[in-house]
């Protein structure tokens, strides 16, 4: 069709965590510039199935940029060439006819490859379980005005809570650090009155779990925030460091 593109794809294929992986080359014709990147992969997989080959495994769910499931490293960048965009919201008009596109999974010790482009991000869940919660009475709903919250604090908490836990920050970091993710989850609670009950221990526990999962240390390069599809601010890392020091003083005083 007129206006459609021909693309060459180099896609990472790996049958399981322990197997050796490698790139395989694929050709696609008639790719509409209005397709999303995941729709382009749907077309590739239909082609592979018709050829009697195994389709490429990749994570996806909402395809609306809010669930954090899509996780492709595209031409050397998490989620591709655009800022503030998830893989599922990246459209093929961001590429040109005849382009070669290299697609890999997230690369991090804490995110082992399950198959092809699918990685295990359970480490994030364990970090949240360590302290990313609040003590609340879930039996009844409180009136919305019973806990007055300053507008600036509410806005900052909302901005931190925009983190979708996709792991792009880890994939972008040369040290595979999860500091941006962890700091966002700590910040969204530390800024609100509901998060004060566990505040003295939250940062200490979550950072300890982050280290136990094998994530690297932060060296303030800033690649995490630059590649984050929700543009989570580095200010959250500074806040987490303050929370962590405060938690350490609180625990040592007990």
pLDDT, mean of residues 187-207: 92
* Nearest residue to 91 (alpha-carbon basis) of 40, 30, 43: 40
The string of pLDDT tens digits covering residues 68-94 is 999 999 999 999 999 999 999 999 999
As given in the structure block, the two tokens for residue 192 are: 């609100």
* Nearest residue to 225 (alpha-carbon basis) of 172, 154, 187, 185: 172
- pLDDT score at 111: 98
Q: What would you report as the CA-atom Rg of the chain, rounded to the nearest whole angstrom?
A: 21
- pLDDT score at 159: 97
Euclidean distance between CA atoms 186 and 243, whole angstroms = 8
- pLDDT score at 194: 87
The string of pLDDT tens digits covering residues 15-30 is 999 999 999 999 999 8
Confidence label for 251 from pLDDT (cuts 50, 70 and 90): low
The string of pLDDT tens digits covering residues 133-144 is 988 777 777 777
Confidence label for 96 from pLDDT (cuts 50, 70 and 90): very high
- pLDDT score at 33: 96
Task: Inform me whether the pLDDT recorded for 1 exceeds 60.
Answer: no
pLDDT, mean of residues 156-167: 97
As given in the structure block, the two tokens for residue 214 are: 């094998």
The string of pLDDT tens digits covering residues 142-155 is 777 788 889 999 99
Confidence label for 53 from pLDDT (cuts 50, 70 and 90): very high
Domains of the chain plus CATH, in order, are 5-115 (3.10.20.30), 121-250 (1.10.1060.10)
């Amino acid at each position: 069709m007129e206006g459609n593109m021909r693309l060459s794809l180099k896609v990472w294929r790996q049958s399981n965590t322990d197997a050796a992986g490698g790139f395989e080359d694929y050709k696609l014709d008639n790719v509409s510039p209005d397709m999303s990147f995941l729709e382009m992969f749907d077309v590739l997989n239909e082609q592979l199935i018709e050829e009697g080959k195994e389709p490429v495994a990749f994570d996806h769910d909402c395809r609306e940029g809010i669930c954090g499931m899509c996780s492709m490293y595209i031409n050397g960048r998490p989620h591709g060439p655009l800022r503030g965009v998830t893989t599922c919201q990246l459209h093929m008009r961001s590429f040109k006819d005849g382009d070669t596109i290299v697609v890999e999974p997230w690369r991090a010790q804490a995110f082992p490859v399950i198959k092809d482009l699918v990685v295990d991000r359970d480490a994030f869940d364990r970090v949240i379980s360590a302290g990313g919660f609040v003590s609340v009475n879930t039996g009844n709903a409180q009136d919305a005005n019973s806990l007055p919250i300053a507008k600036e604090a509410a806005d900052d908490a909302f901005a931190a809570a925009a983190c979708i836990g996709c792991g792009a920050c880890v994939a972008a970091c040369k040290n595979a650090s999860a500091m941006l993710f962890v700091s966002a989850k700590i910040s969204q609670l530390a800024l609100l009155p509901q998060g004060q009950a566990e505040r003295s221990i939250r940062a200490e526990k979550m950072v300890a779990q982050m280290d136990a999962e094998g994530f690297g240390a932060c060296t303030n390069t800033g690649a995490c925030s630059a590649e984050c599809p929700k543009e989570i601010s580095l200010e959250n890392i500074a806040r987490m460091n303050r929370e962590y020091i405060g938690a350490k003083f609180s625990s040592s005083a007990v």
